[in-house]
Amino acid sequence: MRADYRSLPGFEKIQLEGSYVLGIEARPGKLMFRLDLMLDPGHPNFGPPLGDDRACFRPALLCFDAVRGLTWTDQGTPPARDASGEIDYGTIDEFTWIAGEFALVGDWGRIQVNSHQTPKLEIEVVHGPRP
């Protein structure tokens, strides 16, 4: 049975479904999602919303290292521009995994990743108004 992303270490107290994908980069051995990550209360980086944000969002990278295989299908929906003019690919609607096989789905398509390493979240600490 496939597990939900919340069962991965470091993915507790976040909401990928409420986060925004600002960029996706795939290269040999690596896959990275640049995110405006939504944090839940109880997350160590949680704080009051910045600027006009409706919730606690922080810049973050979702990184897959040691990628042995990657398939990206259903690419077709062009990105939108958010209120600040930044490119927005939508959200990560689904992120499941089982034994080194990870599946991510959103408006940007479906990506299947094979890696023996657990993905990492790198969250930027932000103080003060949103840049």
Would you mind telling me the total number of residues written for the chain in this entry?
A: 131
For residues 67 and 54, is the Cβ–Cβ distance under 8 A? no
DSSP class of residue 6? Answer: G
pLDDT band at 121 (very low <50, low <70, confident <90, very high): very high
Q: Which residues contact 52 (CB under 8 A, 6 or more apart)?
A: none
- Reported as type and span, the H/E element at residue 26 is strand 14-27
Question: pLDDT by residue (tens digit) across 107-116?
Answer: 999 999 999 9
- Averaged pLDDT of the chain: 92
Residue 42 has pLDDT above 60, yes or no: yes
Query: What pTM did the predictor assign?
Result: 0.91
Whether 129 contacts 84, CB under 8 Å: no
